[in-house]
């Protein structure tokens, strides 16, 4: 009997038919009914569908982008939705879209186990934060299934790849996605198993807040993501795995509110000088400079890099149009950035110069109104 994607009752997920026997639209609608926001993936690929021409030609962040409010799929998982009408519109326009699920808004933590042939890393990189004595032979370890099983054995827990109480999805490359639900109020961050900064285990990635996962039933050029029987719904994240994620730095620190500080005279002067300008170019520069300086009120989560990049792109467009001198534009950007993120001048300068370079190739011509 075919699986009824219109129900979330757990018993229906023990029926013989599989999610992957349904089309992408049915899969997207079923995911939305579980409360999982979805977004389109490019046909036959694992990556999000391309942005519209405007978003491609004028790089900017997802925050405040009108395309998302207008119902477009720009900016990948940032546009994910559970709105039935929007989903129908997207997959009607392009029936071959794959289905991505935004993990953070869905409250999901997905353990992504890879099985890629690769040389073993140094012992201390196999299970980050856990010392493995040189006397221990690692000759039998070949991929992420082995490193995750080793971690579970050290904690006296079941190998998650054998956990048939939760949704498990086989990937075309031979890997496995283990879907779990996070406890309410718990936010986990993504990571790569090869990262030197934050990782759970070698060849074991974590898909959570700030990332997406490919829904079962999605087909790429490499094959179909296939749900394993018998369970088709995620179980709660096991306590021992939550503890390991905590230990390995997957819990983000909450953005610390910063007491607003007065804008220093140099930054204020840069904004005021532009804002007081009589033409549209100076007013445009003032607007983006203000957005940068206002990030000083928040240590994290203000979208500072995106705002600085947008300001630099705008300034570059004005430079390309001959509306402002390059040195003046860069000086104003550097001053505003230094106020918002003191001590990060080198990184900010890289963003500024990259954004100005991109913007200068697309001169921004604004109609003057005196």
Q: Residue 42 pLDDT more than 80?
A: yes
Residue 198 is predicted with a pLDDT of 83
Q: Residue 216 pLDDT more than 50?
A: yes
CA pair distance 53, 192, nearest whole angstrom: 31
> Binning pLDDT at 50, 70 and 90, where does residue 368 land?
very low
- Report which of 22, 24, 28, 6 is spatially closest to residue 79, judged by C-alpha positions: 28
Residue 104 is predicted with a pLDDT of 92
Most confident of the ranges 7-11, 78-82, 120-124, 302-306: 78-82
Q: Residue 366 pLDDT more than 50?
A: yes
Low-confidence winner among 10-19, 118-127, 242-251, 284-293 (lowest mean pLDDT): 10-19
CA pair distance 149, 204, nearest whole angstrom: 11
- Report DSSP letters for 307-346, one per residue: HHHHHHHHHHHHHHTTSS-HHHHHHHHHHHHHHHSTT-HH
Low-confidence winner among 5-19, 204-218, 313-327 (lowest mean pLDDT): 5-19
Q: Residue 234 pLDDT more than 50?
A: yes
> Binning pLDDT at 50, 70 and 90, where does residue 9 land?
very low
What is the percent of the chain where pLDDT is above 70? Answer: 83
Number of helices and strands in the chain (H, E):
13, 11
Q: Residue 5 pLDDT more than 60?
A: no
Low-confidence winner among 1-15, 127-141, 195-209 (lowest mean pLDDT): 1-15
Residue 164 is predicted with a pLDDT of 92
Mean pLDDT for 118-131 is: 83
> Binning pLDDT at 50, 70 and 90, where does residue 264 land?
very low
Q: Residue 122 pLDDT more than 90?
A: no
Sort 289 into a burial class: Cβ within 10 Å, 0-12 / 13-18 / 19+: buried
CA pair distance 59, 36, nearest whole angstrom: 28
Token pair of 143 as six digits: 């991929």
Cis peptide before 48 (omega within 30 of 0): no
Put simply, whether the predicted model's pTM sits higher than 0.85 gets the answer: no
Tens of pLDDT, residues 46-85: 999 998 888 888 777 887 788 888 889 999 999 999 999 9
């Amino acid at each position: 009997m075919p699986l009824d994607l219109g129900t979330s009752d757990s018993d229906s997920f023990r029926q013989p038919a599989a999610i992957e026997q349904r089309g992408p639209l049915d899969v997207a609608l079923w995911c939305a009914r579980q409360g999982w926001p979805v977004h389109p993936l490019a046909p036959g690929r694992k990556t999000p569908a391309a942005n519209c021409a405007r978003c491609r030609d004028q790089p900017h962040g997802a925050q405040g982008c009108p395309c998302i409010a207008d119902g477009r799929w720009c900016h990948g998982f940032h546009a994910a939705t559970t709105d039935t009408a929007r989903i129908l519109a997207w997959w009607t326009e392009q029936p071959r879209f794959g289905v991505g699920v935004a993990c953070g808004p869905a409250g999901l933590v997905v353990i992504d186990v890879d099985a890629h042939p690769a040389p073993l890393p140094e012992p201390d990189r196999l299970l980050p934060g856990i010392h493995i004595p040189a006397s221990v032979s690692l000759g039998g370890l070949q991929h992420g299934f082995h490193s995750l099983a080793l971690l579970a054995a050290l904690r006296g827990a079941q190998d998650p790849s054998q956990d048939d109480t939760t949704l498990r999805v086989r990937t075309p490359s031979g890997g496995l996605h283990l879907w779990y639900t996070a406890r309410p109020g718990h936010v986990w961050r993504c990571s790569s198993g090869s990262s030197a900064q934050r990782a759970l285990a070698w060849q074991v990635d974590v898909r959570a807040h700030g990332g997406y996962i490919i829904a079962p039933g999605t087909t790429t050029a490499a094959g179909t993501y296939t749900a394993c029987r018998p369970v088709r719904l995620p179980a709660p994240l096991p306590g021992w795995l939550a503890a390991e994620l905590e230990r390995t730095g997957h819990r983000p620190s909450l953005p610390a509110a910063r007491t607003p500080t007065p804008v220093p005279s140099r930054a204020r002067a840069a904004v005021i000088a532009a804002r007081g300008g009589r033409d549209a170019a100076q007013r445009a520069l003032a607007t983006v400079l203000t957005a940068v300086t206002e990030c000083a009120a928040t240590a994290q989560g203000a979208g500072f890099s995106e705002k600085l990049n947008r300001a630099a792109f705008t300034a570059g467009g004005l430079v390309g149009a001959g509306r402002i001198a390059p040195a003046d534009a860069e000086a104003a950007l550097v001053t505003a950035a230094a106020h918002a993120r003191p001590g990060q001048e080198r990184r900010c300068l890289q963003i500024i110069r990259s954004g100005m370079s991109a913007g200068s190739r697309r001169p921004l011509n604004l109609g003057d109104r005196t």
